[in-house]
Amino acid sequence: MPGQFCVIAPDVKLGHDVTIHNFVNLYGCEIGDGTRVGSFVEIQKNARVGRYCKISSHSFICEGVTIEDEVFIGHGVTFINDKVPRATNSKGELQTEDDWKPVPVIVKRGASIGSGATILCGVTIGERAVVGAGAVVTRDVAADTTVIGNPASPRKR
Amino acid sequence: MPGQFCVIAPDVKLGHDVTIHNFVNLYGCEIGDGTRVGSFVEIQKNARVGRYCKISSHSFICEGVTIEDEVFIGHGVTFINDKVPRATNSKGELQTEDDWKPVPVIVKRGASIGSGATILCGVTIGERAVVGAGAVVTRDVAADTTVIGNPASPRKR
Amino acid sequence: MPGQFCVIAPDVKLGHDVTIHNFVNLYGCEIGDGTRVGSFVEIQKNARVGRYCKISSHSFICEGVTIEDEVFIGHGVTFINDKVPRATNSKGELQTEDDWKPVPVIVKRGASIGSGATILCGVTIGERAVVGAGAVVTRDVAADTTVIGNPASPRKR
């Protein structure tokens, strides 16, 4: 049941009991059973969100991102799928889908991404890993590991 | 007087002369006289914003946050109320309000939070303190102090 | 052709073939031919965006910002036009346009600003320069240079 002022394209695949708050923009994506999507969230085509996840407000999940089950995505989290983004191609024309291929990102089961984090393309975030708030993740995060900072690195104990 | 495409729940308590821009999502919160709320802002239940504040676009103010009078909140500022957020509880069920308690944040009178800053839970930001743009605030900020960086620390002079 | 739930003030100057996605808030700005504006974007008055740019979702472009042609602005990018923002003036009244002047920012032709970056006021970003994702840019960036980190500095090779 979407909230107010939502745009959910007909090609979106929603599981059972998905909760969608206000001001949500979804197209071409897949969202599993029981997941909650916060306000001001955009999820693009060919992104997959698993079951029993929380996707918090102001987050952006782009093409090529796979989020497994029971993952927490904080507020204002941004995913990336392009290593060197440019507006135009070498001929000075706006880039189209033919000019690049999205580089995938995987967030494994039970991981938590803190609010304000930025996740670069090509990264895998392991099971139950924690990305600290405001971290900029430039490389893989091992399972059960907490990373913080810009660039993100494992937290010293 | 709200702008266009706003969702303001009936339980929101607005003071006099509150200005609300377009695409604003408010529920269960309290906003004092003369305060301005920018576009794409969400303010959750049990958040309190004082008088003559500016809450700029794309910011998120969560449950448990108290903002005193004459505070400036920049664009894309994110508050946090949970130390180790998880999507599900130990039984694999989506967390509910029974699974955690919000950890409070206080922003004292006259403070300024720069755009893109992230404020972790449990923090107090002192009177007239300044949080630099893009800072990640992990501990208390003293009155009349400027902090910058990730994690934020006092600026050297 | 704007998407759904857009607010485009009558004083906005749009070039030919400008694409505007859903949930966009524009007023008093100028946007050149062929540029694309993503969802949840706000562009303020007296901001200028050139031709064949991509302005990605959740970004905020404020008064005083000039973006030249063929520039890529990632998702969740925040510009700033005020060095020491405060909510109120010395009399305790909400600041108005008489209390400050926007400090300009220029992004030169062909530059790319990574997602989650914050750009402080007074900065010039050179032609074809690249600002890394999540960077906090506090000083000028030379042409053809890549900067990363908080505060942003040139990437070592």
Task: Give all domains of chain C, ordered by start, each with its CATH number.
Answer: 1-83+99-157 (2.160.10.10)
Chain C interface, best mutation among A6, A21, A25, by max C CB count within 10 A: A25
What is the per-residue pLDDT across B140-149, written as a single tens digit (0 to 9) for each? 999 999 999 9
What is the per-residue pLDDT across B23-39, written as a single tens digit (0 to 9) for each? 999 999 999 999 999 99
* CB-based contact, A150 to chain B, within 8 Å: yes
Which pLDDT band, with edges at 50, 70 and 90, does A118 fall under? very high
Residue A125: enclosing H or E segment and its boundaries?
strand A124-125
pLDDT score of B140? 98
Question: What is the maximum span of chain A, computed from C-alpha positions, in angstroms?
Answer: 51
Q: For chain A, how many residues are written?
A: 157
Which pLDDT band, with edges at 50, 70 and 90, does C99 fall under? confident
How far B114 CA sits from the closest chain C CA (Å)?
8
Which pLDDT band, with edges at 50, 70 and 90, does B90 fall under? confident
Using CB atoms, pick whichever of B57, B116, B149 lies closest to residue C42.
B57
pLDDT score of B157? 57
Share of chain A above pLDDT 90, in %: 85
What is the per-residue pLDDT across C31-70, written as a single tens digit (0 to 9) for each? 999 999 999 999 999 999 999 999 999 999 999 999 999 9
Q: Give, as one character, the DSSP assignment of residue C98.
A: G
pLDDT score of B138? 97
CA dist., res. C127 & res. B22, Å (int) = 34
ipTM value: 0.95
Share of chain C above pLDDT 90, in %: 85
Contacts 24+ apart (CB under 8 A), C50-55: C50/C109, C51/C15, C52/A87, C52/A88, C52/A92, C52/A93, C52/A94, C53/A87, C54/A85, C54/A87, C54/A94, C54/A95
Chains interfacing with B (3 or more CB pairs < 8 Å): A, C
How far B127 CA sits from the closest chain A CA (Å)?
24
pLDDT score of C103? 96
CB A106 within 8 A of CB A69: no
pLDDT score of A97? 78
What is the distance of C-alpha C140 from the center of its chain? 15
Share of chain B above pLDDT 70, in %: 99
